[in-house]
Amino acid sequence: GENVEQHPSTLSVQEGDSAVIKCTYSDSASNYFPWYKQELGKRPQLIIDIRSNVGEKKDQRIAVTLNKTAKHFSLHITETQPEDSAVYFCAATGAGNMLTFGGGTRLMVKP
Amino acid sequence: DVKVTQSSRYLVKRTGEKVFLECVQDMDHENMFWYRQDPGLGLRLIYFSYDVKMKEKGDIPEGYSVSREKKERFSLILESASTNQTSMYLCASSSQLWGKDASSYEQYFGPGTRLTVT
């Protein structure tokens, strides 16, 4: 089945700096790659996603890039703010279009 | 706004007890999911359902069963709770699994149930 690896597990940045979280996947048939953000004590929420026919997608300060050849995709957050502090999960579709999630990255933005 | 609710935020049960976790969604979604969330392991799929009375095993179904008698309600059952089932349980729903409109793939999560088995 699909296997998704996510790095780093924790990331600390200064407010205003950029943050990058990387994920690799194993199933070359995967075609949908969402990112979820989970603030402390809250439920995960979708923040951005990308399909396999697109190499990059942006939404204000966040962007996702996909390299299908290398089977990896990344989340980029620019001009980080304290409210970006959360756990971020990447995911990829596997068999039956079920999502397989990465292990999560705890992002801490220091004011 | 999609609303997914779970019956309890916190639950403490004893080893061997039968445990029911309930999830209700109000958006007429076809698909519902049960995940388990553990630190460093992300969200792991236990079971999902794509229609009433239909269910499929996820990655970690052992020790769990599910029931979907109505479209809006999806229950997770621990037949005989064990300490290694202490975890956060998250329910989710989505409109579609396949199709051209990727925006309908989004999974909407409930607030979670933190289950402790002693």
Mind listing the pLDDT tens digit for each residue in B62-91?
Answer: 999 999 999 999 999 999 999 999 999 999
Mutate to test the interface with A, among B48, B109, B113 (most CBs of A within 10 A): B109
pLDDT for res A65? 97
Mind listing the pLDDT tens digit for each residue in B46-56?
Answer: 999 999 999 99
pLDDT for res B95? 86
Long-range contacts of B58-66 (CB under 8 A, 24+ apart): B58/A98, B58/B33, B58/B34, B59/A1, B59/A100, B60/B36, B64/B34, B66/B34
Q: Residue for token digits 């690799």?
A: A24
Per cent of chain B over pLDDT 70 is 92
Per cent of chain A over pLDDT 90 is 83
Q: Which residue has the higher pLDDT, A94 or A68?
A: A68
The yes-or-no verdict on residue B103 having pLDDT over 80 is: no
Whether the CB of B54 is below 8 Å from some CB of chain A: the reply is: no
**Cβ–Cβ below 8 Å for A101 and B48:** no
Of B39, B97, B111, the CB nearest to A43: B111
- What is the nearest CA distance from A68 to chain B, expressed in angstroms? 18
Q: Is A37 exposed, middle or buried (0-12, 13-18, 19+ CB in 10 A)?
A: buried
Whether the CB of A54 is below 8 Å from some CB of chain B: the reply is: no
pLDDT for res A64? 97
Q: What's at B27, amino acid-wise?
A: M
